Amino acid sequence: MNSEPADIIQVRNLTLRYSDGKESLKDINLSIKANAINVLFGPANGGKSTLLRTLNRLNDLTDVSVMQGEVLFNGKNLLDPDIDVIELRRTIGIVFSRPVVLPMTIYENISYGLALAGIRSKVQQKERVKEALQQAVLWDEVYDRLDTPAAELSGGQKQRLCLARSLALKPEVIMLDEPTSALDPVSTANIEDLLQRIKEELTIILVPHNTQQAARMADYAAFFLQGELVEWGTGEQIFTRPKEKKTQDYVEGRFG
Ligand SMILES: Nc1ncnc2c1ncn2[C@@H]1O[C@H](COP(=O)(O)OP(=O)(O)OP(=O)(O)O)[C@@H](O)[C@H]1O
């Protein structure tokens, strides 16, 4: 990295409690850096997925009893009730661990979302589909069978299709929640390579599926433990010179 990237998202004093009373995020303060891979890592139940779901308001659909603090994005608090949630979810996309393809063709898996987003011109759709598949490094494998069912793709290809589906909407941020946990090592390496490539164009927030992947991928890293953000910094600092003993113990595999 040449210079310190700008903050694209600023999480300020974010506390979230589900209606069962459990505090899943405790006074979180964190900056997400633009055009970088921002890794959120730590043991299960740390609050990583909860934070991702908060950033594009998927938590609106779950039973949250308390949400305090703010999340600044493009000069606005994205937790404000008057935010356009549909537009927010286009701008901050999410890819989950299990690739969920729609029961449609490869082409339609992408064009469907474009149509929903108001892009109805067939010419424009065609261009966007091609561009997204190229960005997701899937084009060369599927360009001659775009009209076949997406269900016939391999697991790794399906995950790249899910990524292409988000990329087609030209998001500013893509969040990935353990995107390679269901994939073999070769498919995992493909996804990791392509994330390194696309960070030139957008911002990535990655919940990795293990600490090795966190260390490999992180330009910036935030260590979550039981709803608390223990520490965050550059990947290099967190994985070689952590300030907190808890981070060091986790990174060195003393608990997990
Ligand atoms: N919809 C929900 N309702 C109630 N509690 C929830 C809900 N979703 C998550 N939790 C709780 O919030 C805490 C944080 O969970 P979360 O899934 O955010 O952690 P995580 O760090 O992503 O863990 P994992 O690696 O297992 O996905 C956990 O104690 C979990 O049980």
- pLDDT by residue (tens digit) across 181-216? 988 899 899 999 999 999 999 999 999 999 999 999
Q: How confident is the model at residue 2 (pLDDT cuts 50, 70, 90)?
A: low
pLDDT tens digits, residue range 43-87?
999 999 999 999 999 988 788 888 899 999 988 999 999 999 999
- The share of the chain scoring above pLDDT 90, in percent, equals 84
Nearest C-alpha neighbor of 200 from the set 106, 254, 135: 135
Fold for 7-251, please state it: Rossmann fold (3.40.50)
The pTM of this model reads: 0.94
How far, in Å, is the centroid of ligand 1 from the Cα of 227?
9
Arithmetic mean of pLDDT over the chain: 94
Q: How confident is the model at residue 4 (pLDDT cuts 50, 70, 90)?
A: confident
Nearest CA, atom 7, ligand 1: 18
Nearest C-alpha neighbor of 207 from the set 184, 176, 237: 176
Residue 1 predicted with pLDDT over 70: no
List, chain by chain if needed, residues with CB within 6 Å of any ligand 1 atom: 18, 20, 22, 24, 44-50, 62-63, 224
Given strand 173-177, what is the order of strands in its sheet? 92-95, 173-177, 203-207, 37-41, 220-225, 228-234
Ligand 1 atom with minimal separation from the 20 CA: 4
Residue of higher predicted confidence among 97 and 232: 232
Pocket test for ligand 1, best of 20, 41, 48, 51 (most atoms within 8 A of CB): 48
pLDDT tens digits, residue range 132-170?
999 999 999 999 999 999 999 999 999 999 999 999 999
Q: How confident is the model at residue 21 (pLDDT cuts 50, 70, 90)?
A: confident
Position 20 scores a pLDDT of: 86
Position 68 scores a pLDDT of: 93
State how far the alpha carbon of 226 is from the alpha carbons of 97, 143, 194, 202, in Å: 21, 45, 31, 29
For residues 40 and 222, the answer to whether their CB atoms sit within 8 Å is yes
How far, in Å, is the centroid of ligand 1 from the Cα of 194?
28
How far, in Å, is the centroid of ligand 1 from the Cα of 24?
7
Residue 244 predicted with pLDDT over 90: yes
Position 61 scores a pLDDT of: 79
Domains of the chain, residue spans = 7-251
